Amino acid sequence: MKSTLQETDKKFLWHPYTQMHDYAARDLLIIDRADGLMLYDLEGRSYFDTISSWWCILHGHNHPTIKSFMHRQLDRLDHVHLAGTSHEAAILLAEKLIAITPEGLSKVFYSDNGSTACEVALKMSLQYWRHSGQAQRKRFIGLERGYHGDTIGTMSLGGVPDFHKEFAEILFASFTVPSPYCYRCPMAQNPETCRLECLQPLQDLLENEGENVAAMIVEPLIQAAGGMRIYPARYIKRLAELLRQYGVHLIFDEVATGFGRTGRMFALEHAGVTPDFLCLSKALTAGMLPMAATITSDEIYQAFYGAYAENRTFYHGHTFTGSPLAAAAALGSLQVFAEEKPLARLGATIAHLHQKMARFLDLPWVGDVRCLGMIAAIELVKDKQTKEEFTFAERVGWKIYLKGLEQGLILRPLGNIVYLWLPISTTIAEIDEITERTWRVLAAADNISGALCNKPHGIRVA
183 is catalytic: no
User: Does the active-site annotation cover 315?
Assistant: no
The one catalytic residue among 17, 78, 341, 362: 17
- Among candidates 257, 210, 218, which has minimal Cα distance to 238? 218
Q: Which of 47, 112, 282, 419 is catalytic?
A: 282
Q: Helix, strand, or coil here: 264?
A: coil
Q: Which of 47, 110, 128, 147 is catalytic?
A: 147
Query: Which segments of 282-321 does DSSP mark as H helices, in order?
Result: 298-302
Is 399 annotated in the active site?
A: no
How deeply is 171 buried, as exposed, middle or buried, from its count of CB atoms within 10 A (0-12, 13-18, 19+)? middle
Angle between helix axes 64-76 and 324-340 (nearest 10 degrees) is: 150
- Residue 253: active-site member: yes
Backbone φ and ψ of 60, nearest 5°:
90, 160
Sign of dihedral through CA atoms 322, 314, 213, 168? positive
Of 47, 183, 235, 253, the active-site residue reads 253
SS3 category, 115: helix
Q: 284: number of CA atoms within 13 Å, CB side? A: 34
- DSSP string computed for 57-108: --S-BT-HHHHHHHHHHHHH-S----SS---HHHHHHHHHHHHHSPTT--EE
**DSSP single-letter state for residue 172:** P
Whether 114 contacts 149, CB under 8 Å: yes
Beta bridge partners of 375: 372, 421
DSSP 34: E
Catalytic site positions: 17, 147, 253, 282
